[in-house]
Amino acid sequence: MDFTRTPPRRITVSQLTCRISNDGWPHRLAFAFDSLSTRLALPGCVQILRAAVLCLVPVLVTSCGGAKGPSAPSESPSSETIVSGRTVDAIDGSAAVGVSVQVGNAPAVTTDGAGSFQTDVGGSGSFAAVIRSTTTIERRTTVAAPVGDLRLSLIPASFDLDAFVASSEKMTDSEVSNLTTNLIEGLTLLTSGTYTSFGSTTVERPAPGDIVSVQRPGKIVIGRYSGIVTAEGTIGFATWLDQDDGAVTGGSVFLDAVFDHDDSRRRLLRIHELGHALGYQHVTSRPSIMNPVLGPEPTDFDRAAATIAFQRPPGNRAPDRDPEPTIRINSPSSSNPHWAHPVP
């Protein structure tokens, strides 16, 4: 299945729908570990796009272990506390000018006419970064200091992440079966055994040229997308649908087509990205399947974290704070779901 848009995006996707339970999204949970807030709720179903997409969704620069994208400038940082680099348009690579870049607790800086920036974060290590402007989609990521050649690609605000044009490439039945097996393993792990299988699975086979939406409330759409590594240096990313109370009620996973086709680590990537689709964030302080760099097998920490998550209500925050009781009006107008920023 091939997906194109205006501007065209070359991706590869395969599609299938897995119903976790017949009663929709029965759990609405939240859990925070490390310093990152994690929202978790079980989806009513998981969808795997069963075709190939020749439209790339250019999203994140860093990845769960993928190849590193092109970088500029190449100058080394002047000290152990400097983060410098460029912000660029994720589609055409042009300089993103006038962008606010904030790394850690350092004051935000604005990129110059070449998209370049430099900030002193006051130390070495990993720091949360927020990059925003009026013409781009806000990006949140993690950067390591010191660094002097950081390349941060930003999605234009006009770019639609939802719909793609299907190509003629399809996943085989064997590939779909393998993908489903990996997803069931991930589901069991990430829900602490609350769910050990999907209630139903539906494979979609759109005709070449069909426009397919990949952000669907109540479902997780998982697909292969061609060219992600080449354009963005990432092998996968995901987003999820947040409700006002922190519940997650939808998800979308993007897997690089080449990596996911035959790389021996694709199982770990699939579980990792499913975690994001369920609302989990990156873990940076210890080995975890949710580390930002692909590699670790699921750990005892992952199992313990999922166990705790399924004992907490939506909105729970670190170290262990439940949300204040509030009166919620049960009406469509009181809910304002939104799709989270893509996470690699």
What pLDDT, on the 0 to 100 scale, is given for residue 6? 28
Mean pLDDT of the chain: 74
> In a 3-state reduction of DSSP, which class is residue 56?
coil
Q: Is the pTM of this model over 0.75?
A: no
Which residues are bridge partners to 87 per DSSP? 152
Please say whether the beta carbons of 87 and 117 come within 8 A. Answer: yes
Domains belonging to the chain, first-starting first, are 15-59+161-326+334-339 (3.40.390), 82-154 (2.60.40.1120)
Phi, psi of 144 (to 5 degrees): -105, 135
Q: Measure the CA–CA gap between 9 and 164, rounded to whole angstroms.
A: 7
Burial class (CB in 10 A: 0-12, 13-18, 19+), 107: exposed
Please say whether the beta carbons of 288 and 279 come within 8 A. Answer: no
pLDDT at 342 over 70: yes
Phi, psi of 314 (to 5 degrees): -60, 140
Q: What share of the chain is helix, strand, coil (3-state, %, to 5)?
A: 15, 35, 50
pLDDT at 132 over 60: yes
Place of tokens 């949300």: 323
H-helix or E-strand spanning residue 84? strand 82-89
5-9, 14-18, 46-50, 264-268 — which one is most confidently predicted on average? 264-268
pLDDT at 96 over 80: yes
Q: Measure the CA–CA gap between 273 and 296, rounded to whole angstroms.
A: 14
Q: Measure the CA–CA gap between 152 and 312, rounded to whole angstroms.
A: 35
Instruction: Supply the DSSP string of 126-150, one letter for each residue.
Output: EEEEEEEETTEEEEEEEEEESEEEE
Place of tokens 């199982």: 267
> In a 3-state reduction of DSSP, which class is residue 298?
coil
Please say whether the beta carbons of 64 and 272 come within 8 A. Answer: yes
Of 90, 203, 77, residue with least CA distance to 148: 77
Amino acid in the structure at residue 335: S
Q: Measure the CA–CA gap between 85 and 76, rounded to whole angstroms.
A: 10
> In a 3-state reduction of DSSP, which class is residue 237?
strand
pLDDT at 327 over 90: no
What pLDDT, on the 0 to 100 scale, is given for residue 267? 97
Please say whether the beta carbons of 322 and 315 come within 8 A. Answer: yes
pLDDT at 301 over 90: yes
Residue 137 pLDDT grade (very low, low, confident, very high; cuts 50, 70, 90):
confident
**Residues 137, 213, 200, 225: what is their CA dihedral angle, to the nearest 10 degrees?**
-70
Give per-residue pLDDT as tens, 243-267. 877 788 888 998 988 999 999 999 9
Place of tokens 């350092």: 106
Give per-residue pLDDT as tens, 156-183. 877 666 677 777 888 899 999 999 999 9
Of 255, 261, 165, 257, residue with least CA distance to 207: 165
pLDDT at 64 over 70: no
Residue percentage of the chain with pLDDT more than 90: 35
Q: Measure the CA–CA gap between 316 and 14, rounded to whole angstroms.
A: 35
What pLDDT, on the 0 to 100 scale, is given for residue 199? 67
